[in-house]
C-alpha cells in the first residue's frame, strides 16, 4: 500500500479570500472584504462625487505637505484574526507626493505611507461608520475622514490605537474642520450643504 499526498484543506478564511478575489462585479460596482463581510456597493451618486471633488480641491490647494490621491486604490489591511485581511477601496486615499506611493503599486497594496483615507457614506452607512473605521485603525492609518451624508456631518478620526481611533472631531455641514499635519489647514464644508 502506498501513501498518498494530500493537499491541505483550505481554511474558511482562505476560501472566503479566494472567493472575494475571484469576484467579477458588474461595471461600476465596488466589492470589498471588511471584517470578514463581503460588501458590494452600487455606483455612487452625484452628491458623493461632489463631496470628494470639494475635498480634493482643498487638499491640493492648501495642504502644508504636497499630496497625491487615488479614488479607487485597493488597500490590503491587517485583520482582527478571525477573518482574512481586509480588502478595502476608500473613496479617496491621500499620501505625501514625495512617497510616490501609487506609482507601480499592485491592485491591492499595503497602506504603509497613507496619510488619510476618506469615505462618503453610501447605501451601507454602517460599514463606513464602523467596519471601515475599525479596519483603518487596525492598519494604523493616521487619519480617517468620514463625510456622513445622512447625518449632514463630517468626522475626522485620529490617533489609531487598539483597533479603533482614540480621537474624533465632528462638525455639521457648513462648519470648518481642522485637519492636522501633514495637511495643516481647516477643511471648509460650506459647499456640502
Q: Give the residue, 5 or 84, on which the prediction is more confident.
A: 84
Closest Cα partner for 25 from 34, 35, 33?
A: 33
Predicted local confidence at residue 19, as pLDDT: 67
Torsion of CA 75, 164, 39, 106, to 10 degrees: 0
pTM of the shown model: 0.82
In the chain, the domains with their CATH numbers are 29-192 (3.90.1570.10)
pLDDT digits (tens, 9 = 90+) for 27-67: 777 776 667 777 677 667 778 899 999 999 999 999 999 99
Q: How many residues in the chain?
A: 193
What cell does 171 get?
A: 462638525
pLDDT digits (tens, 9 = 90+) for 142-170: 999 999 999 999 999 999 999 999 999 99
Amino acid at each position: 500500500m502506498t501513501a498518498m499526498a494530500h493537499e491541505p484543506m483550505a481554511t474558511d478564511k482562505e476560501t472566503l479570500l479566494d472567493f472575494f478575489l475571484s469576484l467579477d462585479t458588474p461595471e461600476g460596482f465596488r466589492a470589498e472584504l471588511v471584517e470578514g463581510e463581503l460588501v458590494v456597493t452600487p455606483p455612487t451618486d452625484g452628491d458623493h462625487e461632489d463631496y470628494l471633488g470639494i475635498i480634493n480641491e482643498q487638499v491640493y490647494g492648501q495642504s502644508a505637505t504636497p499630496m497625491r490621491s487615488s479614488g479607487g486604490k485597493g488597500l490590503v489591511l491587517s485583520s482582527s484574526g478571525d477573518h482574512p485581511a481586509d480588502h478595502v477601496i476608500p473613496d479617496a486615499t491621500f499620501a505625501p507626493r514625495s512617497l510616490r506611493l501609487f506609482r507601480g503599486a499592485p491592485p491591492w497594496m499595503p497602506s504603509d505611507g497613507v496619510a488619510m483615507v476618506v469615505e462618503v457614506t453610501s447605501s451601507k452607512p454602517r460599514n463606513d461608520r464602523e467596519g471601515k473605521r475599525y479596519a483603518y485603525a487596525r492598519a494604523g492609518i493616521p487619519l480617517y475622514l468620514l463625510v456622513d451624508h445622512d447625518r449632514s456631518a463630517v468626522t475626522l478620526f485620529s490617533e489609531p490605537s487598539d483597533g479603533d481611533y482614540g480621537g474624533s472631531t465632528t462638525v455639521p455641514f457648513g462648519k470648518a474642520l481642522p485637519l492636522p499635519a501633514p495637511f495643516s489647514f481647516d477643511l471648509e464644508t460650506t459647499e456640502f450643504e
